[in-house]
Amino acid sequence: MSVSNHENRKSRSSSGSMNIHLFHKTSHADSLLTQLNLLRKRRVFTDVVLRAGHRAFPCHRAVLASCSRYFEAMFSGGLKESQDAEVNFHDSLHPEVLELLLDYAYSARIVINEENAESLLEAGDMLQFHDIRDASAEFLEKNLHPSNCLGMMLLSDAHQCQRLYELSWHMCLANFASLYRTEDFLNLPKDKVQELIFSEDLEAEDESVAYEAVIDWVKADVGRRLGDLPELLRCVRLALLPETYLAPLPVLSGLCLLSCSWGVHTPQ
């Protein structure tokens, strides 16, 4: 179309009124994503390759940067990856999980289930697919149970999922009497054991549960944890323990704790 033809048509149709029509194709966004996904699968116009494990995923930088602040910063900043044709995650990201995130980026759809929810939460947080992180956390909230609440507490704490953390935390406290002998509890870091034992909301019949939890946790790796015992026992209300727990105190891995700094001594 020539410029003059367009100008002539404008003058013929001009009536001085504001007679306009807005055309909006509601399916355009979905159609665009579908076409971009087809281009990705055919490796057309792809300008970066993501690698995880032994798999390679050709992608479009613009699509990745639009979905993830992680990729936006990587491709627009002065990082080495902004110029590289490949980004290699090595073994820090499972290829099946990366594939799910990429399918979401190009389709706005993802299936979250019991097998992939935790991995998607971790990867979504790592690559700043925050909507995937939050959707995975919501799925895990609905599937929270005493059998997994200790693990969910650690996972949500590491990835800033506040609601999942609070729900997990309260479930841990409410079910502590049945949890403290489990492998999940014995593998907790010291700071979490300390927080649980010290909490005023800990539900237990008496203080002996907290005391036994500390002793069992130390016994699980006595070589590394014996030095943590005095600090942990300061969180136990020793005055509320039955007398049988204090005289004599239990022997821990053949070592008699004769003079601990927490202020209770075995009889001579």
Per-residue confidence band for 154, with pLDDT thresholds at 50, 70 and 90: very high
**What gap in Å lies between CA 56 and CA 77, rounded to an integer?**
23
Question: Which tens digits make up the pLDDT trace of 79-98?
Answer: 676 778 899 999 999 999 99
Mean pLDDT, residues 205-212: 90
Q: CATH says 31-109 is which class?
A: alpha beta
Instruction: Lay out the sheet containing 86-88: strands in order across.
Output: 55-59, 48-52, 86-88
- Among 141, 145, 119, smallest CA distance to 132 is for 119
Nearest alpha-carbon partner for 121 in 108, 109, 137: 137
Average the pLDDT over 8-23 and give the result: 71
Q: Do the Cβ atoms of 150 and 185 come closer than 8 Å?
A: yes
Residue 5 has pLDDT above 90, yes or no: no
Q: What is the pLDDT of residues 133-153, one digit of tens each?
A: 999 999 999 999 999 999 999
- What pLDDT is attached to residue 254? 43
Helix axes 149-158, 162-174, angle to 10 degrees: 150
CATH architecture of 178-251: Alpha Horseshoe (1.25)
pLDDT, tens digit, 9 for 90 and up, residues 222-256: 999 999 999 999 999 888 887 776 655 554 434 44
In whole angstroms, give the CA distance from residue 57 to residue 40. 9
The domain ranges of the chain are: 31-109, 113-174, 178-251
Say if residue 107's pLDDT is above 90.
yes
Judged against a pLDDT cut of 60, whether residue 258 lies above it is answered with no
